[in-house]
Amino acid sequence: MGEDTGSRKRGIFGWLVAIILILAFGGFSVSNYVRSRTIERPQVIREEKIPVEVKPSRVMDISWILELTGDIRPMREVDVYPKVPGKIIQTLLVEKGDYVKKGDLIAKLEDHTINAQLAEARAALESARANLRQILANLELLEKDRIRLENLYKEKAVAKQRLDHIEAQYEATLQGKKAAQAQIKRAQAALRQLRILYRDHRIHAPISGYISRRYVDPGAMSATAQPIVRISNEGELKIITTVTEKDFPHIRRGMKAEIRVDAFPDKVFTGAVSIISPTIDPATRTGEIEIHIPNKDLTLCSGMFAHIRLELGERNALVIPKDALNRLPGTGNYYAYVVEGGKAVMKNIKIGVIQGNYAEVTEGMEEGEQVVVKGQNRLKDGTRVTVKAHGTGGKANATS
């Protein structure tokens, strides 16, 4: 009986061991199967394609417009200096903003000394004239006596010595006449100089225009190095600006210029290139030009900042839409994306003139490349893209 019980226990234990081994083997096989299926079927990661719009870069004729800036200046501007130093400015007849005509009196210097000198010079001239009148009277008497004694000498009624004496007196008086005449000329010259000096005590406007500055007040001492006022002629104005060496050869005298100022943003003023420098500044590689602007209604004022447009004609250039331009932060350098093989490729480019919807590309791109004009804010170099639309453009106006 005990042996039967022991046999049953051994049998049950054997079955349990067998079951455990079968389960363990089955679990190992399932694990290997799952692992093998995982290796055979790797997970697929889908890469997003960014939708973009593109337009081709193209070569086309562009209107070549040069954009410049400069300060507006008066055509003529004069600082008025006194010619007489060390005199009190007795009267100043103008204020800043007053309009004066050429020749108008604008200031007076004290003139007590010059008035006394003038009186003295007039007296000296009158004395010299009186002396000449006396000499002429004496000469007239001597002439009569000389003629009378010559006749008497011919009749042998007087001695030769007496005739020689009267002739000597006559010649001496003639010399006195010449000296008196020279004295009068000297006195006249001295008087003229004093009259000029007197006029210099009266300061007149050398040109017509507006008093743009007043440097002194009445009571100040005159100095030839210190101006009294500045007169600006605003009826015609000028802008002096510079043009790069590349564009300078295309500037022509008489070329029309469109001028805008911030004070009148909706108004266009017209001027013309009037003076062109014959040389280029080697330090800046620019040349100076001068644009003249009529200003009869005095709308413009000297000192205004001007924006200038010069149309130089047309030229052939590679252009892309301006919407394609991007700038590298902190550098100001331009770049654009083009589509190649379904991917966005970033290209560093150099830009020439820009006007309207087009920008000239001088370096970094070739004709016919598909340039991204929309969607580039989501792109990086190498991003996969899908092209939504293509487009082309018409004639461009270009500005440097």
Looking up residue 130, the CATH number of its domain turns out to be 1.10.287
Residue 218 is assigned to a structural domain of this protein = no
Does residue 185 sit in the same domain as residue 151? yes
Q: Is the pLDDT of residue 325 over 80?
A: yes
Query: In whole angstroms, what is the distance from residue 156 CA to residue 173 CA?
Result: 26
Same domain, 304 and 362: no
Domain assignment of residue 78, yes or no:
no
pLDDT in tens, 359-385: 999 899 999 999 999 998 889 999 999
Q: Which of 138-142, 198-202, 370-374 shows the lowest mean pLDDT across its residues?
A: 138-142
Locate tokens 């040389």: which residue? 279
Is the pLDDT assigned to residue 8 strictly greater than 70? no
Q: Is the residue at 105 inside a domain? A: yes
Please say which residue of 312, 342, 362 terminates a domain.
312
User: Where does a domain end: 277, 312, 347?
Assistant: 312
Residue 274 pLDDT grade (very low, low, confident, very high; cuts 50, 70, 90): very high
Q: Do 109 and 26 belong to one domain?
A: no
Q: Are residues 92 and 189 in the same domain?
A: yes
Report if pTM > 0.85: no
- pLDDT tens column, 108-129: 999 999 999 999 999 999 999 9
Task: Compute the mean pLDDT over every residue in the chain, rounded to the nearest whole number.
Answer: 86
The answer as to whether 215 is a domain residue is no
Give the residue from 269, 284, 312 where a domain finishes.
312
Residue 216 inside a domain? The answer is no
pLDDT given at position 395 = 47
In terms of DSSP bridges, do strands 105-109 and 89-92 run parallel, antiparallel, or are they unpaired? antiparallel
Would you say residue 223 lies in a domain? Answer: no
Q: What is the mean pLDDT of residues 219-226?
A: 94
**127/183 same-domain check:** yes
Q: Which domain holds residue 127?
A: 83-204
What percent of the chain shows pLDDT beyond 90? 61
Q: Each residue of 277-322: pLDDT tens digit? A: 999 999 999 999 999 999 988 899 999 999 999 988 788 889 999 9
**181 within some domain:** yes
Together in a domain, 198 and 267: no
Is it the case that residue 66 has pLDDT exceeding 70? yes
- Tell me which range, 10-24, 105-119, 303-317, 322-336, is most confidently predicted by mean pLDDT: 105-119
| 89 plus 192 within the same structural domain | yes
Single-letter code of the amino acid located at 89:
I
The verdict on 325 and 296 lying in the same domain is no
254 and 353 together in one domain:
no
Provide the domain count of the chain.
4
User: Across residues 319-342, what is the average pLDDT?
Assistant: 91
Asked if residue 240 and residue 187 are part of one domain, the reply reads: no
Domain membership flag for residue 220 = no
Q: pLDDT-derived band of residue 173, with 50, 70 and 90 as boundaries?
A: confident
> Per-residue confidence at 7, pLDDT binned at 50, 70, 90?
low
For residues 261 and 300, state if they share a domain: yes
Q: Nearest Cα to 386, choosing from 47, 18, 22?
A: 47
Q: Are residues 332 and 308 in the same domain?
A: no
How much is the average pLDDT of 191-219? 94
